[in-house]
Amino acid sequence: MKELLEGSRAVAEAVKLCKPGVISAYPITPQTHIVEELAQIVANAELDAQFVNVESEHSAASVVLGGEAAGVRSYTASSSQGLLLMGEVIFNIAGMRLPVVLTDANRSISAPINIWNDQQDSIALRDAGWIQLYAENNQESVDFHFIAYRLGEDKNIMLPVMVCMDGFILTHGLEVVDMPEQEKVDKFLPAYKPLYKLDTAEPMSLGLLAGPDYYMETRYAIQETMDKVLDMLPKISAEFKGVFGRDYKDLLVEEYMTKDAEKVIVAMGSVCGTIKEVIDEQRAKGKKVGLLKIISFRPFPYERVYEALKNVPKVAVLDKSVSLGAHAPIATEIKTAFCGKKKMPKVISSFVAGLGGRDITLESVREVLRRLNQREVCLDFIDLKPELLKEQYGE
């Protein structure tokens, strides 16, 4: 049923439809509305689940780790500092192959403290062994949760999934969302059948010490599984289309007017909506521009990106996070996609924008396209305020 919902509410309803038995969270802006809604849903007995209020994000992640290890579908959500505080457990959950699903309401990282949106928090955890899916709008935010559980719990995958939705822009934004019926979700997402669990009927030890003779293979195994995820996402997308009718194609990327494009912007998350608007506007003027939206950042679909961009003369990558002291995170991946390949764009310019909630406006996107007429840039920031850069401190 189509409803006008706040993003957080829509996600809470989607999580309810996934029927997790253990939910644990610690409040942090802008994740709070999601867990407040879920608390109410459990309080109203609309969902049979244990809602565990904890004293920190470290414990929230640990509670869902324990719930999942005991064989029960588990859910948590966080943001920013909270996600970083979870960091140690985040790596642990992936290493233990527990298919937890976490919603990240993407937010910047302190210092300076800033509660607004960019994607630094989840990007900082990109190496943890979690699958990361980035939503452009709230329909995707909803649908990616069904997909996250379906994918992570597949016995060939057994990895946790982070659904990343831009804080405030999506979490607090009202959009019309098609909320599916429970029967459809049940059809797409069967009850969780863990491969291993803590069970007194069949005692098993989990989380063992692995010395130099064993450790590397466990990491290799996750790397190998991540490759399988790249094959699995298109299949799950087809299943999803069959049940819900919405088509996310290969679920790795979305190509928007890229086929004949001379300039393509690569981006991730809600900014893609803004970019599409500029593309429509430029196309109306006869400009051949397009967008390549990254949906799956981990695993990163290098081959798919190569196919999408190999004949594009000029590419601009728009990052909403930084890797201080190195090239921007998405740009690094995009460039890597052309390593050892015969074809590649003449220009791949990298731009960082929207940090700490600075609006990426239509004009910001136009500026990115204009900059593609100039020399290639390894890394530049869009919408910096020159007057602030001139301020001097100290002597």
Partner 1 sequence: MENNILLKPGHTACAGCGQAIAAKLVIEAAGANTIVVNNTGCLEVFTTAFPETAWNVPWIHSLFENAAAVASGVESALKYLGKKETTNVIAQAGDGGTADIGLQALSGMLERGHDILYVCYDNEAYMNTGVQRSGLTPFDTNTTTSPIGTKSTGNQRPKKPMPEIANAHGIPYVATASVAFIPDLQRKVKKAIATKGPKYMQIHVPCPLGWRHEPGATVTVARMAVETGLYPLFEYENGVLISKRQIAPKPVQEYLKLQGRFKHLLNNPDQLKLVQEVADNNIKKYGLKAEAQQQV
Q: Which residues bind partner 1 (CB under 8 A)?
A: 21-22, 24, 48-50, 52-56, 58-59, 62-72, 74, 88-89, 92, 96, 198-200, 202-211, 214
Q: How far is the CB of 188 from partner 1 (least distance, A)?
A: 22
Q: How far is the CB of 49 from partner 1 (least distance, A)?
A: 7
How many CB atoms neighbour CB 74 within 10 A?
A: 30
Q: Which amino acid is at 287?
A: K
Alpha carbons 152 and 160: distance in angstroms, whole number: 6
CB of 85 vs partner 1, minimal distance in Å: 11
CA distances from 320 to 121, 129, 165, 272, 350 (A): 10, 21, 13, 12, 11
Least CB distance from residue 79 to partner 1, whole Å?
19
Nearer to partner 1, 130 or 168 (CB): 130
> Among candidates 33, 89, 34, which has minimal Cα distance to 57?
89
Q: Is the Cβ of residue 23 or residue 252 nearer to partner 1 in the bound state?
A: 23
Residue 303, number of CB atoms within 10 A of its CB: 12
Return the number of the residue (87 or 234) whose C-beta is nearest partner 1.
87
Cβ at position 16, least distance to partner 1 in Å: 15
Q: How far is the CB of 69 from partner 1 (least distance, A)?
A: 5
* Cβ-Cβ contacts under 8 Å for 321 (sequence gap 6 or more): 118, 119, 120, 123, 124, 328, 329, 352, 355
Output phi, psi for 10, to 5 deg.
-60, -40
- Tell me whether the omega of the peptide bond preceding residue 112 falls within 30 degrees of 0, making it cis: yes
Give the nearer residue to partner 1 in terms of CB position, either 198 or 243.
Answer: 198
Which of residues 68 and 104 has its CB atom nearest to partner 1 in the complex? 68
Q: Give 56 or 336: the residue with its C-beta nearer to partner 1.
A: 56
- Two structure tokens written together for 357: 């909630």
Q: Is 177 helix (H, G, I), strand (E, B) or coil?
A: strand
